[in-house]
C-alpha cells in the first residue's frame, strides 16, 4: 500500500526523500507529496507519479532543510486528488504547523471528524489522515510526542505515521500499528521508511518498530514508548538486504528481472534445507511443531491474489504427498464465514509481503480457534511472520514488480517442501523422499531452460496482441497455473483473461470461443495429458487459436496447437514450478507490446494492507 519515508539528520533531506519515494513507489503510485522543515513548513503534493512532485519542488526552486517527510499514495479514503495527497496538515487556525504522512486506515475517522468539526475544524479533503492530523493539532500543547500519543489513544485502525511540527523544528515523531515501519539508524541521522528498500542505501542498521510503538527522534538520538508513554527498548538489527536486489541492473523492468531471477532465488529457497542423498528435509522454522504437523487432521491454506494460487497448488501437494485432507480459501472469505477449526487443524498463511490485511486477520482468526498457524512468507519479520507459531521463509529476495512472479514460485517451492516434510513423517519412504528432493533440486536448472523461450514467446504473443479476450485452461495441479496465467495477463496488460479447469470450459465458457480467440492450455505430459488433448480439440473445432505449454520432446502437440512453448520434463506434482514460467513471460511481453507500465499497473498495489 502507500509508501512512507522520513529523514532527520545533517544532510539535505529533499534528495534522500525523493530517492526513497522512488524506491517505494511500487507500493502505491497515484499521488505523492513531501513536507520539509526549514524554519517553516514547506509542502508540495502532486497527483500521479513521484516524478510529478519532484518537478513541483524543482519549479519552486527546491526545498532546503534537514528534516522532512514524504509519501507515495494508493488511494483508500477519498479520490486521487492533490487535496487528498499526503502530507496532510493540522488546522492552520491553530498555528502549530503540523504535517503528517500515513499508511493504513483510521477506522473511526468519521466520529473524530464530527467531534473536530463541532470544535470549528474545517477540512480540505476527504481522507482519514487529514482527520488524524487535525486531532494531533487539537491535542498539541507544546510537545509533539505527547500529542501523537494522545491522538493514537483515540484512534482505531491501522497506521504507520511520521509527524513533524514547526514549533519543534528538530523533532520527528513516528508510530506504527498494523502497518510496517522501520527506523534506519545512521551516524547522527535517521531514515524512517515503510520498508527497507528506502533505507539500505543509507544504513544497514535498523529497528523494525513493533506495533503500538511511538518513536521520538532527534539528531542526537531517539526514544521509543507505547501510546501510554511507557518506555520501551528497541533493538537495532543488521538489515539483510543487498542494494543490487532492488536495482534494475540491465533489465528494462523489475518484473522481467524477477522472472529471470527465479532459478537463483529458488536455489536459495532450497539451500541447506534439502538433502536428496539422505532423503532429508530440514525446516528449522517448523521443527518444533513437526509432531503437530505429522498428526494434523486438516490443512487450510489462506491467501489472496497470486498467493491464493500458490495455496491452491499447496492443497494438491498436501493431498498427494502428505495424504492429509487439505483445502484453500480466500483469506477474506475464511475470516468472515465462521469457519470450523477442529482439533488437529493447521492453517497455512501464504503471503509475499506478510502484510496483506485479510491474510493476517484470517490467520489470527484461525489461531484464536486453536489451529496451529504456519506462515509461508517472503518478508522477514513482517506482521504475518510474527503472528504465526512457525513458518518457512521463501528467501527469494525483495519483489518490486507489482505482478508477483518469483514469490509465486518460491511459495510453491516451500509448499512442496512442507508437503514432503509432512509426508515423510506420515507415510513416505526415504527413497521416495530422495526422489522428490532430487526433482526439486533439478527445478532451478529446468527453469533456466524454460526461460530460453522468452524471445519466441514474445514473437508468438505479438500475433494475438490485439485480442481482448483470452482463456487459460489447465487440469489438476496445473489448473491453478491457468488461473495465475490469466491473472498475470489481466493485471499488467489489461486484457480480459479467464482461467479455469479445462473440463469446465464446456459448461459455459465455450460459448465465448470464436474464430481466432487465443486459448492457452497447460498441456504437459502427466496423468491428465490425454484429457487435455481432448479439450484442445474442442477449442480447435470452434476456431480458437491454441497456445500450448508442453513437455520438451512432445512433437505430437504441434499438430493441435498454433504455438507451443516447451518446458523440461518433471514429475506431475512439481510441474507448476515450470509451467508458470512461459505464462509469466507471455503476460510480460503482452504488456510491453501494448505499451503498458509493467511494474506499475493501473489501480494495483504491491501489498494490500486494508481489508
Specify the 3-state DSSP secondary structure of 116: helix
606 is catalytic: yes
Does the footprint of ligand G6P cover residue 604 (CB under 6 A)?
A: yes
Which uninterrupted H or E stretch holds 255?
helix 254-260
Does the footprint of ligand G6P cover residue 307 (CB under 6 A)?
A: yes
**How far is Cα 456 from Cα 463, in angstroms, rounded to an integer?**
11
CB of 56 to ligand G6P, least distance (A): 28
Given 151, 160, 608, 610, the residue binding ligand G6P (CB under 6 A) = 608
Binding mask 339-378 for ligand G6P (x = CB under 6 A): ------------xxx--x--x-------------------
Written as nine digits, the cell of 489 is 495477463
CB of 307 to ligand G6P, least distance (A): 4
CB of 352 to ligand G6P, least distance (A): 3
CB of 360 to ligand G6P, least distance (A): 9
Does the footprint of ligand G6P cover residue 194 (CB under 6 A)?
A: no
Write the DSSP symbol of residue 81.
Answer: -
Does the footprint of ligand G6P cover residue 584 (CB under 6 A)?
A: no
Written as nine digits, the cell of 72 is 507515495
Is residue 354 within 8 A of residue 382, CB to CB? The reply is yes
Of 177, 315, 490, 606, which is the active-site residue? 606
* Omega prior to 87 cis, within 30 of 0: yes
Which residues, listed in sequence order, are joined to residue 217 by a DSSP beta bridge?
172, 222
Is residue 7 within 8 A of residue 71, CB to CB? The reply is no
CB of 305 to ligand G6P, least distance (A): 3
Does the footprint of ligand G6P cover residue 404 (CB under 6 A)?
A: yes
Given 305, 314, 423, 474, the residue binding ligand G6P (CB under 6 A) = 305
Does the footprint of ligand G6P cover residue 17 (CB under 6 A)?
A: no
Cβ partners under 8 Å of residue 595, min gap 6? none
Does the footprint of ligand G6P cover residue 481 (CB under 6 A)?
A: no
Is residue 219 within 8 A of residue 10, CB to CB? The reply is yes
CA 535 to mean position of chain CA atoms: 34
> For residues 91 and 498, which CB has a smaller minimum distance to ligand G6P in the complex?
498
CB of 408 to ligand G6P, least distance (A): 8
Does the footprint of ligand G6P cover residue 402 (CB under 6 A)?
A: yes
Does the footprint of ligand G6P cover residue 485 (CB under 6 A)?
A: no
Specify the 3-state DSSP secondary structure of 487: helix
Q: CA-based angle 347:350:353, to the nearest 5?
A: 135
Of 2, 165, 311, 570, which is the active-site residue? 2
Calculate helix-pair angle for 262-270, 406-426, nearest 10 degrees: 30
Does the footprint of ligand G6P cover residue 415 (CB under 6 A)?
A: no
Distances (CA, A) of 560 to 195, 239, 474, 501, 572: 48, 52, 16, 19, 22
Is residue 403 within 8 A of residue 248, CB to CB? The reply is no
CB of 23 to ligand G6P, least distance (A): 18
Given 245, 434, 607, 609, the residue binding ligand G6P (CB under 6 A) = 607
Indicate the Cα dihedral angle 529, 535, 536, 541, nearest 10°. 150
Written as nine digits, the cell of 304 is 489472496
Interface segment toward ligand G6P; rule CB under 6 A; list 233-241, 267-275, 302-310, 466-474:
302-310
Which uninterrupted H or E stretch holds 175?
strand 168-177
State the number of binding residues for ligand G6P (CB under 6 A).
15
Closest residue to ligand G6P, based on beta-carbon distance:
305
Instruction: Show which residues are catalytic.
Output: 2, 606
Give contact residues for ligand G6P (rule: CB under 6 A): 304-307, 351-353, 356, 359, 402, 404, 604, 606-608
Amino acid at each position: 500500500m502507500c509508501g512512507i519515508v522520513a529523514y532527520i539528520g545533517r544532510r539535505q533531506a529533499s534528495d534522500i526523500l525523493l530517492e526513497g519515494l522512488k524506491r517505494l513507489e511500487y507500493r502505491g503510485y497515484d499521488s505523492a507529496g513531501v513536507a520539509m522543515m526549514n524554519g517553516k513548513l514547506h509542502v508540495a503534493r502532486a497527483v500521479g507519479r513521484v516524478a510529478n512532485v519532484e518537478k513541483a519542488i524543482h519549479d519552486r526552486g527546491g526545498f532546503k532543510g534537514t528534516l522532512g517527510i514524504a509519501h507515495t499514495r494508493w488511494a483508500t479514503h477519498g479520490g486521487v486528488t492533490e487535496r487528498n495527497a499526503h502530507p496532510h496538515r493540522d488546522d492552520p487556525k491553530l498555528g502549530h504547523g503540523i504535517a503528517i504522512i500515513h499508511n493504513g486506515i483510521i477506522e473511526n475517522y468519521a466520529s473524530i471528524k464530527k467531534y473536530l468539526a463541532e470544535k470549528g475544524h474545517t477540512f480540505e479533503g476527504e481522507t482519514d489522515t487529514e482527520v488524524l492530523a487535525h486531532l494531533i493539532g487539537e491535542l498539541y500543547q507544546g510537545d509533539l510526542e505527547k500529542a501523537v500519543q494522545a491522538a493514537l489513544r483515540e484512534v482505531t485502525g491501522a497506521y504507520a505515521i511520521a509527524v513533524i511540527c514547526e514549533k519543534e523544528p528538530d523533532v520527528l515523531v513516528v508510530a506504527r500499528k498494523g502497518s510496517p515501519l522501520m527506523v534506519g539508524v545512521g551516524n547522527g541521522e535517521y531514515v524512517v521508511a515503510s520498508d527497507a528498500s528506502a533505507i539500505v542505501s543509507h544504513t544497514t542498521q535498523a529497528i523494525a518498530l513493533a506495533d503500538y510503538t511511538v518513536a521520538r527522534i532527534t539528531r542526537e538520538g531517539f526514544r521509543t514508548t507505547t501510546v501510554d508513554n511507557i518506555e520501551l527498548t528497541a533493538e537495532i538489527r543488521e538489515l539483510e538486504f543487498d542494494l543490487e536486489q532492488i536495482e534494475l541492473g540491465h533489465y528494462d523492468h523489475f518484473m522481467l528481472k524477477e522472472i529471470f531471477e527465479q532459478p537463483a532465488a529458488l536455489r536459495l529457497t532450497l539451500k541447506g534445507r534439502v538433502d536428496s542423498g539422505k532423503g532429508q528435509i530440514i525446516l528449522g522454522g517448523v521443527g518444533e511443531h513437526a509432531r503437530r504437523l505429522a498428526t494434523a487432521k486438516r490443512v487450510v491454506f489462506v491467501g489472496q491474489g497470486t498467493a491464493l494460487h500458490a495455496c491452491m497448488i499447496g492443497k494438491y501437494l498436501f493431498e498427494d504427498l502428505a495424504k492429509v485432507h487439505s483445502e484453500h480459501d480466500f483469506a477474506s472469505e475464511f475470516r468472515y464465514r465462521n469457519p470450523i477449526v477442529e482439533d488437529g487443524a493447521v492453517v497455512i498463511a501464504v503471503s509475499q509481503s506478510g502484510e496483506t490485511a485479510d491474510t493476517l486477520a484470517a490467520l489470527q482468526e484461525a489461531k484464536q480457534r486453536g489451529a496451529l498457524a504456519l506462515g509461508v512468507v517472503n518478508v522477514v519479520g513482517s506482521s504475518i511472520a510474527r503472528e504465526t507459531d512457525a513458518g518457512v521463509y521463501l528467501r527469494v529476495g525483495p519483489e518490486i514488480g507489482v505482478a508477483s512472479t518469483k514469490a509465486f514460485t518460491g511459495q510453491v517451492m516451500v509448499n512442496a517442501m512442507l508437503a514432503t516434510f509432512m509426508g515423510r513423517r506420515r507415510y513416505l519412504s526415504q527413497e521416495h523422499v530422495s526422489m522428490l528432493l532430487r526433482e526439486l533440486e533439478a527445478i532451478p536448472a529446468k527453469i533456466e531452460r524454460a526461460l530460453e523461450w522468452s524471445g519466441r514467446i514474445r514473437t508468438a504473443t505479438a500475433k494475438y496482441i490485439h485480442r481482448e479476450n483470452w482463456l487459460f485452461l489447465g487440469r489438476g495441479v496445473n489448473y491453478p497455473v491457468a488461473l495465475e496465467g490469466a491473472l498475470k495477463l489481466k493485471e499488467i496488460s489489461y486484457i480480459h483473461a479467464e482461467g479455469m479447469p479445462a473440463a469446465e470450459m464446456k459448461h459455459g465458457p465455450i460459448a465465448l470461443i470464436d474464430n481466432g480467440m487465443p486459448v492457452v492450455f497447460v498441456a504437459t505430459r502427466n496423468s491428465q495429458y490425454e484429457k487435455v488433448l481432448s479439450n484442445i480439440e474442442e477449442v480447435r473445432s470452434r476456431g480458437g487459436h491454441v497456445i500450448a505449454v508442453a513437455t520438451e520432446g512432445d512433437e505430437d502437440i504441434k499438430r493441435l496447437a498454433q504455438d507451443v512453448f516447451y518446458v523440461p520434463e518433471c514429475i506431475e506434482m512439481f510441474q507448476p514450478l515450470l509451467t508458470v514460467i512461459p505464462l509469466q513471460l507471455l503476460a510480460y511481453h503482452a504488456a510491453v507490446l501494448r505499451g503498458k507500465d509493467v511494474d506499475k499497473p493501473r489501480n494495483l498495489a504491491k501489498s494490500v494492507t486494508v481489508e
